[in-house]
């Protein structure tokens, strides 16, 4: 099963994790220096729920936003 919401299609997004050192200028330092940038992923909050699909009960992966909006009941 892919990590994707079966109702809205929400999936993982990519971004960067930035490591810094030093003291910020705001706190009296000379500023923050970037020491490393690595790729990372932001995953949606997916939950396994039972839903009625084509007349049968099935387990589906659904994001919490769709559960709160009540889209799970409509499918």
pLDDT (0 to 100) of residue 26 = 96
Which CATH number is 29's domain given? 2.20.150.30
Residue 52 pairs in a beta bridge with 57
Q: Determine, yes or no, domain membership for 1.
A: no
Q: Determine, yes or no, domain membership for 68.
A: yes
Residue in 71, 53, 59, 54 with CA at minimum distance from that of residue 8: 71
Q: Determine, yes or no, domain membership for 4.
A: no
pLDDT (0 to 100) of residue 73 = 78
- Domain region containing 57: 13-74
**What pTM did the predictor assign?**
0.73
Which residue ranges of the chain lie beneath pLDDT 50? none
What is the three-class DSSP state of 1?
A: coil
Q: Determine, yes or no, domain membership for 41.
A: yes
Q: Determine, yes or no, domain membership for 5.
A: no
- Domains in the chain, number: 1
pLDDT (0 to 100) of residue 75 = 56
pLDDT (0 to 100) of residue 1 = 61
pLDDT (0 to 100) of residue 30 = 96
Compute the half-sphere exposure of residue 21: CA atoms within 13 Å on the CB side of its CA.
2
């Amino acid at each position: 099963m892919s990590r994707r919401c079966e109702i809205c299609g929400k999936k993982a997004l990519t971004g960067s994790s930035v490591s810094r050192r030093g003291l910020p200028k705001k706190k009296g330092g000379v500023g923050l220096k970037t020491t490393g940038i690595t790729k990372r992923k932001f995953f949606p909050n997916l939950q396994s729920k039972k839903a009625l699909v084509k007349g049968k009960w099935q387990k589906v992966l659904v994001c919490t936003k769709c559960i709160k909006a009540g889209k799970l009941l409509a499918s």
